[in-house]
Amino acid sequence: MSNHTKKRVSIVGALAATALLALAACSTSGGTATTSTSGAAAKIIKVGFSQVGSESGWRAANTKDIQATLTTANGFDLKFSDAQQKQENQIAAIRSYIAQGVDVIAFSPVVESGWDAVLQEAKAAKIPVVLTDRAVDSKDTSLYESFLGSDFVLEGQKAGEWAVKQFGDKPTNIVELQGTTGSAPANDRMAGFKKAIEGHPNLKIIASQTGNFTRAEGKTVMEGFLAANPKIDLVWAHNDDMGLGAIEAIEAAGKVPGKDIQMVTADATHDGMQALVDGKINFIVECNPLLGQQLADVIKQIMAGQAPEKRILTKETTFTQDQAKAALPTRQY
Ligand code: GYE
């Protein structure tokens, strides 16, 4: 029996004992008891969640959804911390959750590498770990129970396929605003996009630099791109926020975003969709931040001693300007 399983079995045993006691209490009170036996079995699950940071509109929606779903009313005691895009802060948060003896640790790893040691510590403490949103590159997949989130390679590929269709065989200079260096979405979106434009030598990535997924850095990096490259046809930004920063830089340079320089981004947050409707972005690949319910379900499965799916993929789509006009009024984020 694995350590995790042992812990789960003992929790299940404790729940069963509580339920039996509650039943006994009911039966001795001559049928007049008001105790609900189903309520008696519910144990609040202590979850430690380490969030990447608050770098983007996507992240704000993700945090809000997780906090709104893992509530006391839903059976959770959520401990939440923001790592401000720093791996050392996340490692410290995970260690503190281990020390507090939470039931489950969930986190969205800022970068892919360097997690083995702390995940081994969680395993030794028999605390199951769930990855949300971003992946780790650990070879030992027993270090986490499940990874839920998007297929970032596919997202990059969708952006690249759009570029191929949009520009046909015209010579096209592309600049890329990368997400946080070493993060799963930056690595994978970059790879997916490259793969899609392969075999179309007229589409050239002439510059590629990180803007750390933030609006401010997206703007500064775009200013540099504009200063160094007289002909830019397309900006491929790994998220809406960097794209929105790039729009400011393009406008400040006296050019028209969406026309003089076209834009493709990932996420489809409210502000990104608004810019798409306004014609400043040309195409957005959706990345869904609403992972709270899936996370809650996975945690409940783990606590019930069941093995969740190892990889849970999020469903998502893409938006043209017309599709954005139709979708924006009812968007949740
Ligand atoms: O695309 C970006 C955020 O990991 C999918 O992180 C997430 C990415 C998202 O900062 O806006």
How does pLDDT run along the chain (333 residues), one tens digit per residue? 444 544 444 444 444 444 444 433 333 333 333 334 444 457 999 999 999 999 999 999 999 999 999 999 999 999 999 999 999 999 999 999 999 999 999 999 999 999 999 999 999 999 999 999 999 999 999 999 999 999 999 999 999 999 999 999 999 999 999 999 999 999 999 999 999 999 999 999 999 999 999 999 999 999 999 999 999 999 999 999 999 999 999 999 999 999 999 999 999 999 999 999 999 999 999 999 999 999 999 999 999 999 999 999 999 999 999 999 999 999 989
* pLDDT value at residue 311: 97
Q: Which fold has domain 44-150+289-315?
A: Rossmann fold (3.40.50)
Asked if 160 and 193 touch (Cβ cutoff 8 Å), the reply is yes
Ligand 1: which atom is nearest the Cα of residue 183? 4
Ligand 1: which atom is nearest the Cα of residue 213? 10
Ligand 1: centre distance to CA 284 (Å): 14
* Model pTM score: 0.88
C-beta of 185 in contact with ligand 1 (< 6 A): yes
C-beta of 189 in contact with ligand 1 (< 6 A): no
- Pair of tokens at residue 20: 């039996």
Residue identified by tokens 């009024």 is 329
d(C-alpha 309, C-alpha 331), whole Å: 28
Instruction: Please choose from 287, 291, 313 the residue to mutate so as to test ligand 1's pocket, defined by most ligand atoms within 8 A of CB.
Output: 287
Ligand 1: centre distance to CA 239 (Å): 7
Residue of the nearest CA to atom 8 in ligand 1? 185
Ligand 1: centre distance to CA 59 (Å): 6
Q: Taking Cα atoms as reference points, which of 276, 270, 218 lies closest to residue 57?
A: 270
Ligand 1: centre distance to CA 153 (Å): 13
DSSP string covering 3-58 = HHHHHHHHHHHHHHHHHHHHHHHHHHTTT-----HHHHH--PEEEEEEE--S-SHH
In three-state form (DSSP H/G/I as H, E/B as E, the rest C), the secondary structure along 216-233 is: HHHHHHHHHHHHHCCCCC
Helices in the chain by DSSP H: which ranges? 3-28, 37-41, 57-69, 87-100, 116-124, 152-167, 184-197, 215-228, 240-252, 270-277, 292-303, 321-327
* pLDDT value at residue 12: 46
- Pair of tokens at residue 46: 């202590």
Ligand 1: centre distance to CA 223 (Å): 22
Q: Do domains 44-150+289-315 and 152-287 have the same CATH topology?
A: yes
C-beta of 239 in contact with ligand 1 (< 6 A): yes
- Domain-wise residue ranges, the chain: 1-43, 44-150+289-315, 152-287
C-beta of 8 in contact with ligand 1 (< 6 A): no
The CATH number assigned to the domain with range 152-287 reads: 3.40.50.2300
**If you count them, how many residues does the chain have?**
333
* pLDDT value at residue 26: 37
Pairing of strands 234-237, 318-319: unpaired
C-beta of 58 in contact with ligand 1 (< 6 A): yes
Asked if 58 and 270 touch (Cβ cutoff 8 Å), the reply is no
